[in-house]
Amino acid sequence: MKRSWFVTGTDTDVGKTAICCALLSAANECGLRTAAIKPVAAGCDSNGHNSDALELQAAMSEMLDYAQVNPVALECAIAPHIAAKLEGRNLKASQLEGICRGTMTGSAEFTLIEGAGGWRVPLNASETLADLASRLQIGIILVVGMKLGCINHALLTAEAIRRDGLPLVAWVANQVGPRMAQHDDNVETLRQLLSAPLLGDVPHIVPYSFLAAREYLSIDALLR
């Protein structure tokens, strides 16, 4: 059975890629064929490659070309719609949907589609990445950056996801820096209020290794 999810975050720099790689690793260990897509990435090297997309490419089991993993690679590490405008490109949710569906219907059994930043990151004057998720009609995995303010950010994001008619199927608590004050109390509050399974509580790992992060995650709730 093929399964696909859209991975979003409570903000930028909350570790979406790191968690995606750890989830891919967990699925690989289960013997599943895995793939990941970073439809839009802003901030690329001289080869036109984004570091997040390269990490996803390395973590998945399927051999996909870079262009399949990251079809829209923008040079400047700024908001995607602004970076696209600087390059004279027009981002459209409908075009990204077609690209994503091509991979979703391929050989992979476990596919993650990683957004950019948070839920409402603009693609153009009238669309956001949330419109891409809505077109795909797949479940959402929310990565919560565990820091002061995370409860508000997580609840607002979950509310927006549900208002857009999509299910929040799971979430991950990811410690993005030194352990926050009353960390366990914050996780427990979110566990009670998000009404979705917690896949794992990942500590701040230095140096980071998605294989180490994988030890704190379970994908059982995704495979039921």
The CA distance from 112 to 2, in Å, is: 11
Predicted pLDDT of residue 207: 87
What pLDDT is attached to residue 106? 92
The pLDDT tens digits for 41-96 are: 999 999 999 999 999 999 999 999 999 999 999 999 999 999 999 999 999 999 99
Q: How far apart are CA 112 and CA 140, in angstroms?
A: 10
Residue 194 is predicted with a pLDDT of 97
Mean of pLDDT over the chain: 96
Sheet holding 139-145, edge to edge: 34-37, 110-118, 3-9, 139-145, 168-174, 198-202
Contact 37, 193 (CB under 8 A): no
Query: Predicted confidence band at 142 (pLDDT cuts at 50, 70, 90)?
Result: very high
For range 165-190, the mean pLDDT: 97
Residue 212 amino acid letter:
A
pLDDT band at 113 (very low <50, low <70, confident <90, very high): very high
Tokens of 179: 């352990």
pLDDT at 208: 85
The domain locations on the chain are: 3-219
Instruction: Please tell me the CATH superfamily of domain 3-219, with its number.
Output: P-loop containing nucleotide triphosphate hydrolases (3.40.50.300)
Peptide bond into 207 cis (omega under 30): yes
Give the whole-angstrom CA distance, residue 142 versus residue 144. 6
Q: How is residue 3 written in tokens? A: 């399964």
Cβ contacts of 143 within 8 Å, gap of 6 or more: 7, 8, 9, 10, 14, 15, 16, 19, 171, 172, 174
Given the residues 16, 38, 85, 147, select the one marked as catalytic: 38
Contact by Cβ (8 Å): 26, 110: no
Average pLDDT over residues 155-178: 97
The yes-or-no answer on residue 38 being catalytic is: yes
Arithmetic mean of pLDDT, 168-178? 96
| CA 31 to chain CA mean position, Å | 22
Query: CA dihedral in degrees (135, 141, 147, 152; nearest 10)?
Result: 60
Q: pTM of the prediction? A: 0.96
pLDDT at 1 over 90: no
